[in-house]
Amino acid sequence: MSSERASIATLLTNIEECPVETFSVTWIDQHVNDAENAETLEQLHSHINFVKVFVKPDECQKYLCKMSPYDRTILIVSGSLGKQLVPDVEILPQVSSIYIFCTVKEIHEVWANNYPKVRSVLTEYDELTDAVIGDYRLQVKQDGPIAYNILKKDVPLNLSSSFIRPHLLIDYLLRLESNPNDQEELFAFCHGQYRHNAAELQTLHQFQHTYSPDTALTWYTRDGFPYQMLNKALRTQHIHLLFLYRFWIKDIYQQLLQHQCKTSIHAFRGQYMTTSELQLFQNSIGEVICINSFFSTSTDVDVALNFIDNVEGVNAHLHRVLFDIHADPPVDTTKPFANIREFSVFGDEEEVLFSMNSSFRVVDIDTNTDGIVVIELRFCRDDDIELQPIFNRIKAECKDEEISLIRFANFLFEMKYFKETEVYYQRCLLLPTGSPSDKCACYEQLSCLALRKNRFELSLNWQKQSHDMKLNLHEPNSVDLARSYFKLAEIYEKLNNSPEALTHYKLAHGAFRCHRHSQGLQLNKCRRKMGHIYSITGRYSDALKHLKKVLKSWTQPDTSVDRSELGKLYYEIGCVYHKMQVRDKAILNYTSALKVYQKCISPEHKYIADVLEKMAIVYRDQGVYIQSLLHYEKAQLIYQKYLPTRHPYLSRIDATVRNIQAQLKHDPVEETV
């Protein structure tokens, strides 16, 4: 188990590079690490969980730009660097407020007053710590930006769409088999995150030793890092943290189900929003939105208004927003909501908590007499006529059964969470209970992921490990082994190792032939690949033999094939004849490729330009210069439309065209073939 814990610690290293909570402080100063700043940094650390320091402006700017759009950081910057940095970062939504810390206040106030997010120009350490800590506490109270996805009526939905994907992710996490070591890993990670904050370490100790499923909602309502970290993970869909926190997510979800409201409710939520955030809601009137995190509201409008009223020093770029929410209790729902007054640390707030991924229709937006923007939302049940087809698809994908870690990894791969997928396949390999077939599948998927990153040697290593296991798991000519040989051949081809690639394509071809009635497509793939390798290694007769077999198969009356692939095949055959200097057959196959392409792709597609250029070269070699010039000029027109003006390829084509024009002027009588 120690190796598994070490692995997750390594996997979580990248998390430590960015805040694990929504709110943080960033301090940029060439002398920030000097002894005179040590006490101030210590004070900030004792109240603020994440303080990041920089001495170089470019590194700081890069960091700020890479932060999640749902992050909010208070920027402390020296006067000299501020004049350079503030104009570039003040517009970032991640930068919530800015404090200029300098020695001569009057000088820097002149330029700082031009930027609304600059809250103060300060010269004293005590002033700085008081202002920043106060601002931080205020922002934490106001909560972070809402993360949501919009169901657009004119956008086709699939299982990896931005609206459905968060639903699937949470569903898989809720059904993922439990591991008693997950909580231990989470606590170890949190200890490293909050090692400078005695108060949060005390919270961690209590969480570790007193948490139980029936206290899930109570812990969610407590001030402290667990709530902040969980909501940040939900907002940003942070797979690693959600994986470790899934025990808590499950328990909160179960408590909400048990205490689901039985009658209709009218609830409110106070929220600050930037102009751009508010505009997104304006553009979504009539649409359905899905909120990624748990959504906290109150049946007492005064409680909601307290979060946006009478707050001194709110930035001018923020708008006060009040959500006015109507919700009817669902008959059968996967998105419960409940009044959690009896579980809340703040029982007088009459809190109603909606489950993560709850959907609401944006009914209307208006501004009241107090200047507060009121957004009217209506809770959408699973049986909503617009949402029912979506949730039916999700239920079909997510059957009510516990899922294994490898199935979760496969889901991440299908949803294109490629970086995270690699983590969980490697984690699967560490499980002592993993079956040989599961480990074999993990090696193969890791090979695919390495191939995506062009790490061919690593990909080959993973695929070899998978293949070695398959040799013991499958019959010699099984389809699984055939596919494995094919994948090895593809990797060898990427490594420019033609002999090994050809050997493995032959092995794959031999195995697929044993299943020719069901594996005809794979057989043709092998033949085509072998034909390509024979072509590049100068074995042209063998190349034609294999490519023509594919062509014969693909041109049968009852065969359905992608027309653009048929065009490519004619092109490949033309290239082989071209290399053999059998020019009439080269032209014949290039012409066939061109005719196929003209029926299935854009007339300005690169493939058409490539064929035209090849035909131009053959005509030039034959001395048929007028035809050569005609085809070069047609290819040139297409290349000019998608290549940059000064691209060297255009220069080369242009030079060739001028040479042929000169040749025709010198010898205007074209030779015949």
* Whole-number pLDDT of residue 87: 94
Measured CA to CA, the distance from residue 77 to residue 207 in angstroms comes to 36
Q: What percent of the chain clears pLDDT 70, i.e. is strictly above it? A: 92
Phi-psi region of 465 (alpha: psi -120 to 50; beta: other; left: phi over 0): alpha
Tokens of 45: 């650390």
Residue 646 has pLDDT above 60, yes or no: yes
- Under a CB-based contact definition with an 8 Å cutoff, are residues 98 and 75 in contact? yes
Residue with the bigger pLDDT between 42 and 326: it is 326
Give the C-alpha distances (Å, rounded to integers) separating 568 from 76, 390, 417. Answer: 58, 38, 32
Please compute the mean of the pLDDT values over residues 83-102 and round it to a whole number. Answer: 93
Please compute the mean of the pLDDT values over residues 640-667 and round it to a whole number. Answer: 89
Where do the structural domains in the chain lie, given as residue ranges? 23-142, 148-398, 474-561, 564-672
Please compute the mean of the pLDDT values over residues 153-170 and round it to a whole number. Answer: 75
Residue with the bigger pLDDT between 384 and 439: it is 439
Q: What is the dihedral of CA 425, 431, 432, 437, to 10 degrees?
A: -30
Q: Which one of 32-41, 97-106, 385-394, 553-562 scores highest in mean pLDDT? A: 97-106
Q: Of 580, 558, 566, 484, which Cα lies nearest the Cα of 528? A: 566
- Under a CB-based contact definition with an 8 Å cutoff, are residues 575 and 590 in contact? no
Residue with the bigger pLDDT between 6 and 330: it is 330
* Whole-number pLDDT of residue 3: 44
| Residue 562 CB neighbour total at 10 angstroms | 10
528, amino acid identity: R
Residue 4 has pLDDT above 50, yes or no: no
Q: Fold for domain 148-398? A: Toxin ADP-ribosyltransferase; Chain A, domain 1 (3.90.176)
Residue 214 has pLDDT above 60, yes or no: yes
**Torsion angles phi and psi, residue 386, rounded to 5:** -85, -30
Query: What confidence tier does 432 reach under pLDDT thresholds 50, 70, 90?
Result: confident
Residue 635 has pLDDT above 80, yes or no: yes
Residue whose entry in the numeric block shows the structure tokens 């024009």: 661
Report the alpha-carbon angle 388-389-395, nearest 5. 85
Residue 1 has pLDDT above 50, yes or no: no
Q: Which one of 150-159, 289-298, 385-394 scores highest in mean pLDDT? A: 289-298
For 438, the enclosing helix (H) or strand (E) is helix 436-452
Identical fold between 23-142 and 474-561:
no
Digit-coded pLDDT (tens) for 460-518: 999 999 999 999 999 989 999 999 999 999 999 999 999 999 999 999 999 999 998 78
Catalogue the E-assigned strands of 283-422.
Answer: 288-291, 295-298, 318-327, 337-339, 351-354, 358-367, 373-380
**Torsion angles phi and psi, residue 96, rounded to 5:** -85, -35
* Whole-number pLDDT of residue 5: 43
Please compute the mean of the pLDDT values over residues 538-544 and round it to a whole number. Answer: 97
Measured CA to CA, the distance from residue 454 to residue 601 in angstroms comes to 29
Digit-coded pLDDT (tens) for 505-527: 999 999 999 998 788 899 999 99
**Lowest-confidence region among 133-142, 334-343, 450-459, 549-558:** 133-142
Residue with the bigger pLDDT between 530 and 165: it is 530
Assign 488 to helix, strand or coil. Answer: helix
Strand partners, 266: 326
Contacts of 649 (CB under 8 A, 6+ apart): 639, 643
Query: What confidence tier does 537 reach under pLDDT thresholds 50, 70, 90?
Result: very high
- Mean pLDDT of the chain, nearest integer: 89
SS (H, E, C) 186-230: HHHHHHHHCCCCHHHHHHHHHHHHHCCHHHHHHHHHCCCHHHHHH
Residue with the bigger pLDDT between 162 and 486: it is 486
Please compute the mean of the pLDDT values over residues 365-393 and round it to a whole number. Answer: 83
Digit-coded pLDDT (tens) for 381-391: 877 766 677 66
* Whole-number pLDDT of residue 347: 72
For 96, the enclosing helix (H) or strand (E) is strand 95-101
To the question of domain 23-142 being in CATH 3.40.50.2300, the answer is: yes
Measured CA to CA, the distance from residue 362 to residue 374 in angstroms comes to 11
Please compute the mean of the pLDDT values over residues 594-613 and round it to a whole number. Answer: 95
Digit-coded pLDDT (tens) for 348-359: 788 999 999 999
Residue 661 has pLDDT above 70, yes or no: yes
Query: What confidence tier does 370 reach under pLDDT thresholds 50, 70, 90?
Result: confident
Class of domain 564-672: mainly alpha
SS (H, E, C) 453-486: CCCHHHHHHHHHHHHHHHHHHCCCCCHHHHHHHH
Measured CA to CA, the distance from residue 399 to residue 303 in angstroms comes to 40
Please compute the mean of the pLDDT values over residues 104-129 and round it to a whole number. Answer: 92
* Whole-number pLDDT of residue 10: 53
* Whole-number pLDDT of residue 12: 52
What is the CATH code for 474-561? Answer: 1.25.40.10
* Whole-number pLDDT of residue 632: 95
Give the sheet arrangement for strand 148-151, strand by strand.
148-151, 288-291, 358-367, 373-380, 318-327, 265-274, 295-298, 351-354, 337-339
Measured CA to CA, the distance from residue 432 to residue 430 in angstroms comes to 6
